[in-house]
Amino acid sequence: MEISGSIKDTREMVKAWKAKGLKVALVPTMGYLHEGHKSLIDRARTENDKVVVSIFVNPMQFGPGEDLDSYPRDLDRDAAICEKGGVDLIFHPEVEEMYGPDFCAYVDMHTLPEKLCGASRPVHFRGVQTVVSKLFHIIPADRAYFGQKDAQQLAIIRRMVIDLDFDIEIIGCPIIREEDGLAKSSRNTYLSGEERKQAVILNQSLEEAMKAIDAGETDAGKVKDIITKTIESCPLAKIDYVEVVSFDTIQPVEKVEGPVLIAIAVYIGTTRLIDNRILNA
């Protein structure tokens, strides 16, 4: 396995594979890899000849006062996970390699990034769109793998690839959970013992919603009420948002029908966690 911090060398390596007719996968990450990332790597490994994992904590997608400085980083641990997972190349650039001194180009989008996480994190998706576009140019892969936990991110990237004609297939992969149902996330490491116990409320609230939907509930307002009441029963939880939207457009829907995303963001103490269910997609 190679580790490269250079855009030029990385691009050359990937182009050489492509010239031999090999299928190349990209798994974009910010590192501190967990079972969720591992499942993306495993799927990429089975569906392609070469697997590239990018590890880059992208400053552009963090707003002022967010956790850029404290975001967990451990390249040695990540490299060991990648090596074991059969990864061929880690792209791990410095910030200066990605954003030169006169950097001033951004990828902007309307509608999809405006609600849910975009409403509480105004610069976040512009940073994601820009860095993912750069990664797609640096690593001309055939397929890129993203987790469905960041469902809005997945919807945005799918749209961006269509609208800007990127020649890459976007694969969404299921959420990986802890035994008690908490979605795996690098940010789970911020939780204290008691917070970790109470964090299960995110998944439990979505389970309650799914029970109601399975029993025939289609009113999005009622589904949101069920989730809100469940979360409010938890002393350490504070809701950022509970939304039922179209998974294609990320606009609110009144009825739970067609491709629908039920998305929540909840503070457990000071840690903001997200979770979701995607229906009929």
Q: Just list the catalytic residues.
A: 37
274 binds ligand PAF (CB under 6 A): no
Q: Is residue 148 at the binding interface for ligand PAF, with CB under 6 A as the rule?
A: no
What residues form DSSP beta bridges with 272?
A: 267
How is residue 60 written in tokens? Answer: 């552009």
Q: Smaller CB distance to ligand PAF: residue 128 or 206?
A: 128
Minimum distance from residue 268 beta carbon to ligand PAF (Å): 20
CB of 226 closer than 8 Å to CB of 263: no
Cβ-based nearer residue to ligand PAF, 131 or 155: 131
Is 32 or 237 the residue whose CB approaches ligand PAF more closely?
32
Kind plus residue range of the DSSP H or E element containing 15: helix 7-19
Length of the chain: 281
For residue 42, give the DSSP letter. H
29 forms part of the interface with ligand PAF (CB under 6 A)? yes
The least CB distance from residue 51 to ligand PAF, in Å, is 15
DSSP at 186: G
| Region of 28-36, 77-85, 160-168, 189-197 interacting with ligand PAF (CB under 6 A) | 28-36
Shortest distance (Å) from residue 131 CB to ligand PAF:
5
Q: Which residues contact 274 (CB under 8 A, 6 or more apart)?
A: 117, 149, 150, 183, 185, 202, 263, 264, 265, 266
Does residue 152 bind ligand PAF (CB under 6 A)?
Answer: no
User: What tokens were used for 264?
Assistant: 């929540």
The phi and psi torsions of 192 (rounded to 5 degrees) equal: -75, 175
Residues in the interface with ligand PAF (CB under 6 A) total 10
- Smallest distance from ligand PAF to CB 28, Å: 4
Three-state SS string across 182-202, please?
A: CECCHHHHHCCHHHHHHCCHH
Spell out, one character per residue from 107 to 136, where the chain touches ligand PAF: x when CB under 6 A holds, - when not: ---------------------x--xx----
Residue 214 to residue 111: CA distance in whole angstroms: 30
Among 61, 152, 230, 271, binds ligand PAF (CB under 6 A): 61
Burial grade of 141 (CB within 10 A; 0-12, 13-18, 19 or more): buried
Nearer to ligand PAF, 128 or 226 (CB): 128
**Residue (39 or 58) nearer to ligand PAF, CB:** 58
E-strand spans in 191-230? none
Q: Measured from the CB atom, is 61 or 230 closer to ligand PAF?
A: 61
Asked if residue 150 binds ligand PAF (CB under 6 A), the reply is yes
Question: Exposed, middle or buried, 29 (CB in 10 Å: 0-12/13-18/19+)?
Answer: buried
Beta bridge partners of 52: 26, 89
30 binds ligand PAF (CB under 6 A): yes
For ligand PAF, the binding residues in 192-231 under the rule CB under 6 A are none
| Binding residues vs ligand PAF (CB under 6 A) | 28-30, 58, 61, 128, 131-132, 150, 153
